[in-house]
Every structure is written in C-alpha cells, then in structure tokens.
Amino acid sequence: MTKPLVLLTGPLLLLGLAACEPVPADGEAGGTGIVTVPESVSSIAAPFQDLTTARYRSKDGCYWYTHRGPVETVELPLRTDNGSPICARPQG
C-alpha cells in the first residue's frame, strides 16, 4: 500500500513546486526598481494599492506595484480610481 502512495506523492510535489514563480527583481522585466512615487502619481492612485512597492517600468512607461494576496504575489499596474493605468508617457 505504501508503494502507490510514494508513486503519487512524487509527481504531486513536483507539480506543486512548478506553480511557484518568482516576482521579477529590480532591473528585471524592464523595471528600474522601487522608487518614491511622485505626489502627482500618488494623488491619483486608487487607495487599495501599495505605493511603497511601486516601480516605474521604462519598457511600457507605466508604474507597477507588488500585490501580496493570500495565495500569490503578483506585479500589477498602478491604476486610478476609474481603473486607468498610470503611465508617464502615452502608450503606443
């Protein structure tokens, strides 16, 4: 009975580890690292976002922040109250 259990737990463990994906570090994915958000940006940002983790990505010209949820940690675009992304230059 222990042999089928061992054969089942190995693949399940590997599958569980495959779901772990690191959040991009400073300098990766076009990021410039954590920055102090300008007052003009913080004044229009929606209140539920963590501005202490905000970073500007030169790749798309927008501000992103780290959202730490109960299940995973992800990078999300910083948005205004109406849902628009906050960017330093027009996207195009």
Predicted pLDDT at 86: 95
Predicted pLDDT at 46: 95
Report whether pLDDT(80) > 70: yes
Tell me the pLDDT tens digit for each residue of 14-68. 555 555 555 454 444 444 456 678 899 999 999 999 999 999 998 899 999 999 9
Report whether pLDDT(90) > 80: no
Domain ranges of the chain: 25-92
Backbone angles phi, psi at 28, to 5 degrees: -90, 160
Predicted pLDDT at 12: 60
Contact 91, 62 (CB under 8 A): yes
Q: How far apart are CA 8 and CA 13, in angstroms?
A: 9
Report whether pLDDT(70) > 80: yes
Q: How far apart are CA 84 and CA 77, in angstroms?
A: 9
